[in-house]
Chain A
Amino acid sequence: MSLLSLRQLGKSFQTGAHEVRALQDVTLDVADGECLAIVGESGSGKSTLANLVLGLFPPTTGAVEFDGAELPVVRTLAHRRSIQLVQQNPASALNPRRSVGASLQLALDVHGIGTSDTRPARVAELLRDVGLPEDLARRSPTSLSGGQRQRVAIARALACESRLVVLDEPTSALDVLVQAQVLRLLADLRARHNLTYLFITHDLAVVRNIATRVAVFSQGRMVELAETETIFTAPQDPYTRRLISAVPVITEEEKTMRNGLSQS
């Protein structure tokens, strides 16, 4: 069953005299429980797609369906609860004037999850769930490292018991060791809570190891959609091939694979 369906989705912007066709005619089904990676050219409409799914602005054409029903342009609280966003920049995602615990508590309050008696315990549980100590609830987000902040942002998405999490470059601001931890956590949470991910990233090595399927975008269009294995071993679209053969790598084994693709 597909959890999310995009139907001929498109978005244009007007900048002065220039019209920008940010996203054009995207039709796509995202299965319940999958991790769909969205990769491709910078400026090809990936974040625009994320914003449309989240209902941050209306589409120019087409519609978004969630759990079998078309989502209205103006989302209800229940809709907002079931689709959450985790952004690239953990610094700007959390209100610096609120403690970590207060931010999580607010998410529970807004969506009326639990009661005022049960919420503090739930906050502690959420922190544990993302591998953070409970006493971190009292700290300000500005006193946390990038990786810790990203865990808090993930905990906030979990607080809403959402089913779909849109991850827009969630680890690209993190160094490799912290990234490895956060990726493990994301994979783990998806399995434990049966979450569905729309995982936007430029890091194809991450995609290879975490995604079930991959959608490749170029110039506002989806040019290829396939199983992860297929994208990396038998890419069909010329843009996908170019993309994979440009991945910077560190091992000889990877170099061989990459060069093999750019020749065939």
Chain B
Amino acid sequence: MTLVLNIRDLQLAFKSWSGTSEVLHGISLTIGKGERVALVGESGSGKSVTARIVLGLLQELRGVQISGSVEFQGQDLGAMPDRERRALRGTAMSMIFQDPTSSLNPVFKIAPQFQEVLARVTPGISMSATRVRATDLLREVAIAEPERVLDSYPFQLSGGMNQRVMIAMALANRPALLLADEPGTALDVTVQAQTLDLMRALVTDHGTSVLFISHNLGVVREFADRTYVIYRGNIVEEGPTRDVFENPGHPYTRALMAAQPKITGGGLPDLVEGDRHYLEPRFVHEGVA
């Protein structure tokens, strides 16, 4: 299988006036063409930063130390000039951000924001062409009134509608690699199922590969071919999704499964002794939940 993404021994540290914090301690992860791979783990474990490195966003920040290698379609991203790496963003690879405010601009209506996304592969696309294409894309994510949504500011839409707008934008240019960071947290389960179907269709029709970051274990179980479990900056378990769920090997993976409430009832999950140390935040930094 050809690898679309090949991460080898990736280490990341943030340097600041108060010292250095090591966030990734040498993680390795691969995604083949047309493969759906999940990355699960507690908040702060390093999921979003991994995706941000792949997208080339952290490399441009000050105080960031990265070692190891990230290859995208056989090319070493570390060796690539900034300009080339930026040109991949929003075209060959795109990301659904966890936080809507990092991809939707509150002071612009949705239509011009769509135009900017589409212009990355169709430079100079007109507003009328944008609206036609955006309308189709919004319908795909179960938006019932695309016209109204295009004429709205983000604050005029519900949380789940904004999230769907971001999903539609990320899929717009049919990327080879989709980085989906907690893509369904604000969606009801029927719309969520529909967006998962859409991502599956992208995988089958365009051979897109997906890195699917989520703390929703049910969704991971249904969507991913393979699952990596990350714990405090280390990959502690990896395998076909079915195996990871049926025979979790690491105590942390077992703790995650046990903490998931069940739709069959049985009460709120009990935290077993020993979970406590999984709960202590490892790093606390400004602005990251």
CB distance from B44 to the nearest CB of A (A): 7
- Indicate whether A246 reaches chain B with its CB closer than 8 angstroms: yes
Query: B residues within 8 A CB of A178?
Result: 42-43, 279
* Docked complex Cα distance between A169 and B184 (Å): 13
- Indicate whether B174 reaches chain A with its CB closer than 8 angstroms: no
Query: B residues within 8 A CB of A189?
Result: none
Task: List 13 contacting pairs A-B, 8 Å CB cutoff, sorted by A.
Answer: A41-B191, A43-B158, A90-B289, A169-B159, A177-B259, A202-B186, A205-B263, A210-B268, A242-B190, A243-B188, A247-B218, A251-B262, A254-B262
* Docked complex Cα distance between A173 and B98 (Å): 9
Comparing A25-33, A69-77, A140-148, the segment that makes contact with chain B is: A140-148
- Indicate whether B217 reaches chain A with its CB closer than 8 angstroms: yes
Q: B: which residues have CB within 8 A of A?
A: 41-44, 144-145, 147-148, 151-152, 156-161, 163-164, 185-193, 215-219, 221-222, 245, 255-257, 259-269, 271, 275, 278-279, 281, 284-287, 289
Query: Which residue of chain B is the closest to A46 with respect to CB atoms?
Result: B158
* Docked complex Cα distance between A143 and B266 (Å): 35
CB distance from A24 to the nearest CB of B (A): 15
Contact at A15–B148, with CB atoms within 8 Å?
yes
Contact at A148–B158, with CB atoms within 8 Å?
no
Contact at A176–B215, with CB atoms within 8 Å?
yes
Query: B residues within 8 A CB of A17?
Result: 151
Contact at B263–A244, with CB atoms within 8 Å?
yes
- Indicate whether A13 reaches chain B with its CB closer than 8 angstroms: yes
Given contacts A20-B148, A250-B260, A254-B264, contact A184 B271 (CB under 8 A): yes
Contact at A142–B287, with CB atoms within 8 Å?
yes
The B contact surface, by secondary structure, is loop
Q: A: which residues have CB within 8 A of B?
A: 13, 15-18, 20, 39-44, 47, 88, 90-91, 142-149, 169, 172-181, 183-184, 187, 202-206, 208-210, 232, 242-244, 246-251, 253-254, 257-258
Contact at B186–A232, with CB atoms within 8 Å?
no
In-complex Cβ contact of B147 among A18, A147, A206, A258 (8 A): A18
Contact at B218–A202, with CB atoms within 8 Å?
no
Query: A residues within 8 A CB of B193?
Result: 246, 248
Contact at A253–B264, with CB atoms within 8 Å?
yes
* Docked complex Cα distance between A205 and B259 (Å): 11
CB distance from A17 to the nearest CB of B (A): 8
Query: A residues within 8 A CB of B279?
Result: 147, 177-178, 181
CB distance from A34 to the nearest CB of B (A): 17
Query: Which residue of chain B is the closest to A172 with respect to CB atoms?
Result: B185
The winner among B151, B193, B264 for most chain A CB atoms within 10 A is: B264
Given contacts A178-B279, A208-B265, contact A91 B289 (CB under 8 A): yes
Contact at A202–B187, with CB atoms within 8 Å?
yes
Contact at A146–B286, with CB atoms within 8 Å?
no
CB distance from A99 to the nearest CB of B (A): 14
CB distance from B204 to the nearest CB of A (A): 20
Query: B residues within 8 A CB of A145?
Result: 43-44, 281, 284, 289
In-complex Cβ contact of B191 among A42, A90, A147, A206 (8 A): A42
Contact at B161–A248, with CB atoms within 8 Å?
no
Contact at A91–B271, with CB atoms within 8 Å?
no
CB distance from B261 to the nearest CB of A (A): 4
